[in-house]
Structures are given as C-alpha cells and as structure tokens.
A and B are shown apart, each in its own frame.
Chain A
Amino acid sequence: MCDAKARPDMQPVYPKAGSYPDFADLVDDSRAQVDRRVFIDRAIYEAELRQIFGRAWLFLAHESQIPNPGDFVRTYMGEDDVIVVRQRNGRIGAYLNSCPHRGNRVCMVDSGKKARGFICNYHGWSFGIDGRLNGTDGKVYDKDPGFQKSEIGLTPVAQVASYQGLVFGTFDPEAPSLEEYFGPFTWYLDVMLDNDEGGTEFIGGCVKSTVECNWKFPAENFVGDILHAFWTHQSGAEAILGGAVDLGSRYDERAFQASVYGHGIETNLDKVGNTRTLGFPELNDYVLGRYEAVKARLGEVRARMVGAVSSCTVFPNFSFLPGQATFRVWHPKGPDRIDLYTWTLVNRNMPERIKELYRKGTMITFSPGGVFEMDDGENWEYCTKANQGWVTRHQKLHYGLGQDSGWAESSLPGHIHRGSLNDANQRQFYRRWAEFMRFDSWGDLQRAETAPPAKPMTRAAE
C-alpha cells in the first residue's frame, strides 16, 4: 500500500442490479403458489438487498419531521443506515451514515434539530449537512500533499423526492421518477395524503420495535390481507368494539383490491370501519362529519375510503392503514428479522383534540404493546420460523383465494379485483417481487405484468 501509485477513488458507487431468474421462478404465477424459501434463504435475502432495496424508491421521512435547515432523522434503506437532512436551500438530502475513512457512523442519534454537520467519533472527520467533508483533524491531513478533501464526502442517496409531504429515496441513479414509480397508484395514496387542503404531518415521534419475521409477511399482510382480521383480531376487536370484526355495509358491491406495480390497497367503502377500532366514538363522528368535504375534494369512492376497513403497502416495505392512521416501514434485518418504525399521520388542519385521539388510538392498536400489533407479530414470527424446517421449506404456500375475481371492466386505476377477502394483491406483490428478481433494467420493470393496465381515468372512478 505504501507504494500505491494512484490516489484513493472516493466517488460514490451505486451497485448495479443483476438477474436472478431461479429466484424469480420461486413465485409460481400459474398455480398461485409461493416457495417458502423466499422467506428464509440467506442468498435470496442478499439478492433482495441488491435487486429491491438497492434500487426501489424507499420511504425516508415525512417533511413535517424536518421543517428547517439542519433538521434530520436517521433511518434505513434496506440495511443501509441513512441520514435524511433538510438543506440550507430547503431541499432534502439523504446520505449514508458511514464515514468514508473507516466506515464508522457519523450520526449516533435518531433525530435532531438544526444540526451544523456530522462529525465522526473516530478521527474527527467532519461533514456538512450537505454531506461534504469540511475538514478532518485539521493538523495532519491538510499537510499531506496527496489528500484530496474536496473529493470526499458521505455517499449521497442517488435520488430523493417528495410526494404530498412524504419523502422517498433510491440508490439507483437510473430509477424512474418517484411519480412514475407510483404510477396511477397516487390516486389511492391521495386518499390519506390529500383529503384536506392543509396537507398532512406526523405526530408523536417514531415508535420502533423489532419483530423476528421476514419483512415480506407484514408487507403482504398490509397489501391485501383483511381476511386475517376475522380470526387473528377477533378477540381484540371484541375488547375494543364490543363486537366482531365487521367489513361494513354493502360489502359485496363495494369492496375491492387495487394494485399497481406491486403497490396495493384493499378496501371496503364503509367510511369509518377501521377508525371505529381505535375506540373513540368522537373520532368516528369526526370522520363521518368530513365526508361531504372529502367527497367534494376526492369524489365519492375515495371519500368512503378515508376511515374504512382498508390497508395499503407501497412496494416494497412501506405500509399504512387509512382508518387507523398508522404509517410504517418494515426494515429488513436479515431474512428473519425486521425493525419496525411507525408513525401516526394526521391532517395538519385537524383540531388538536382529534389529532390526540388518533395518536392514542394508534398506541392502543398498532404500537408494540397495541392489541392488533401483538396479534400480528406473533403470527409473522411463527410463519418465518416454521418455514425454516428442512422438509417444511419444500412445501409450496397457497395464495389462491379469489383467482377468478378479476374486475377488468372497473374504471378504477390499476389491476382491480372484486372483494377485499382475496389474495389478489398478494399475488401482485409477489409477481412484482419476481419482476425485481428477474429484470436488471427499469425499462423491463416498468413494462412488466404488474404495470397498470391502460385505462382512461373517468369520472366513473370518482
């Protein structure tokens, strides 16, 4: 090393995707089956980090968390530790939380206000909130003739963009724009993000916990599994509601699942079903009371979704429940563990009392000690652990519910299936997973089967 001729090349490296057709084939479209190895296998997990978390748009933060220059939060993209920080020009930057010298973390805390920069504990390398190296120890490096300070910095996340206050990032410089990544799924995201002119905010901080499960179990649960509620959450629902899980009136006519590029939402249109599970009658009245205003803004279908029995996943690992207002990321930590980050999202213009009821409601239901979170977590842990059995892992899993429920004539955006008690969105989720495994280019990814069918957006959908 002491005779090395070239200077260190410190340009950011954004790993290229590959192609894993053998892994893609583990999702059997024709039979609606998924191979259990996708939940337990280390090689498949490493391929996910490369193919999915290395290039998909991943949720980073809500703009309301970092309103001023220097405000920051720390999060993960896949297993990569990332700092998300508001710049002096108002834009949002995101950088790997790892010093280019020896790799140490440069930011130790979860979040903060008005940071001046980030100093590595190890040798004092100091980075601005724009990620650039401002200086080192100040006495040794600056006298070293070969040291190129200006070429060194924290590796920036390749692209950062916001949609309706939610900030996302991708490590792939060639990824399409965030809006293109969502496609017409934004129509559904707006149910929560744009039902009031004042926009939204996160309240009450970030609640973090660990679940010993594969990240795809919670992601597929939120993308389209309301079915489990009737069994998993029945006793919890009875405790809070004094009655059984109820999907609401005119279910057969109104409930559906919608999917675009593997993002999915399942919903009935009962206006207030999930909000009821928070246990505050005042909150139900509030949601019902806003119905006409939301209808005027978003149309009837979406106005009915705001508080409804409904759940959503943005591929790959960002999920929310409209009615309960819990938003969350399932951060992968190996094939058999996740770190779960959750927030409560409300409209900025809601009365403080209503915001507080949402915050308390999410704590009662979907915090680590929440009734429904505990119900779910245990199931996902045993799904993961049981699949590890040598013989067990060779048995295929059944994703066949509602194979004949396609609703091609629906004018709603995306792939639509009738009814919410359906594996349709989960099949779409794994189809998208397989597309990410198979294709190494965004051109192929965005033209693949999960791409939205061409439909004119008509007022009928409203």
Chain B
Amino acid sequence: MTDTTLIRLCDAADLAEGEVLKIEIDGRKPLAATLVDGVVHVFDDTCPHAEESLSKGWVEDGRVVCPVHFAEFDLADGSVHNAPAGCGKLRAYAAELRDGAVFASLG
C-alpha cells in the first residue's frame, strides 16, 4: 500500500454487526463496510465476479457472501471461496474505528 492516509468513510453508528453497508465516495467505485465482533472491515462493494453489490449480501463465519452467485470472500484478506468460475479475489482495505467513525486506507 503506497498511501497510508486514513480516510473517514462514515460514522461508526452507521454500521451494524453482521450487516453490510454500502459507502459511496466521489470519484471511486463504491465501498462496503461491516462489523464482525466489534472489528470493522472495509472492502470493494462490487463483487469481482459479476458486478453485483455485496451490500445486498450478508456475513457468515468471517466471510462476506455475494447474494447472487454465493461467492464467499474472507474479510481479513479478500481471498475467495466457493468461487464461481472466473471469480477473482476481493480487494480489502486496512480499516479502523476511531473517535466514533470508520477510517480506511484506500491506497
């Protein structure tokens, strides 16, 4: 990661445990964030397989599940499991909760 500047994405209160929030920032593809056991995870909202929104999916056992073809992405590193043919890894970003807000290093 070349740029480690943290960018404020939303209020921490916008996140709910296990639910996936879509976050739109001008000038880039939408992001998504979720909270698992109090730890925040930020990743691309668009599934690398077929351009579906992961915010319509759900979190299960530390993985975000695409609601359309059920690819599973590890929240820790974006690695893909149960992948449909041609589905690559999901990009995940370093993120943290600070002062009641969600920050991520978008690189």
Contact = CB atoms under 8 A, between A and B. Distances in A.
Interface of A: 116-117, 119, 124, 126, 128, 134-139, 142
A138 B67 contact: no
A126 B51 contact: no
B49 A138 contact: yes
A124 B49 CA distance: 12
B49 A117 contact: no
Given A116-B70, A134-B68, 19 more contacts: A117-B67, A119-B69, A124-B50, A124-B69, A124-B84, A126-B67, A126-B70, A128-B67, A134-B56, A135-B50, A135-B52, A135-B69, A136-B68, A137-B50, A138-B47, A138-B50, A138-B51, A138-B68, A139-B51
A124 B51 CA distance: 13
A134 B53 CA distance: 11
8 contacts: A117-B67, A135-B52, A135-B67, A135-B69, A138-B51, A138-B68, A138-B69, A139-B51
B95 interface: no
A117 B70 contact: yes
B64 interface: no
List the 7 shortest-distance A-B pairs measured between CB atoms, nearest first: A138-B50, A135-B68, A126-B68, A138-B51, A138-B52, A135-B52, A116-B70
A142 B51 contact: yes
Question: Which of B50, B56, B68 has the most chain A CB atoms closer than 10 A to its own CB?
Answer: B68
Nearest to B49: A138
B17 to A, nearest CB: 17
A154 to B, nearest CB: 15
Interface residues of B, number: 12
Contacts, number: 35
A135 B67 CA distance: 8
Contacts of A135: 50, 52, 67-69
B75 interface: no
Interface in B60-95: 65, 67-70, 84
Label chain B's interface by main secondary structure. loop
Contacts of B47: 138
Contact of B67 (A134, A136, A142): A134
Contacts of B49: 138
A139 B65 CA distance: 18
Contacts of A134: 56, 67-68
Question: Which of B47, B56, B65, B69 has the most chain A CB atoms closer than 10 A to its own CB?
Answer: B69
Contacts of B70: 116-117, 119, 126
Nearest to A116: B70
Contacts of A117: 67, 70
Interface string B21-36: 0000000000000000
A119 B56 CA distance: 16
Contacts of B56: 134
B88 to A, nearest CB: 14
A137 B56 CA distance: 16
Nearest to A133: B68
Contacts of B68: 126, 134-136, 138
A137 B66 CA distance: 13
B68 to A, nearest CB: 3
Contacts of B65: 116
A138 B84 CA distance: 12
A117 B50 CA distance: 17
A117 B47 CA distance: 17
Nearest to B53: A135
Contacts of A126: 67-70
A126 B51 CA distance: 14
A136 B68 CA distance: 7
Nearest to B46: A138
A137 B50 CA distance: 6
Contacts of A128: 67
Contacts of B52: 135, 138
A98 B67 CA distance: 20
Contacts of A142: 51
A139 B67 contact: no
Nearest to A126: B68
A128 B50 CA distance: 17
B56 to A, nearest CB: 7
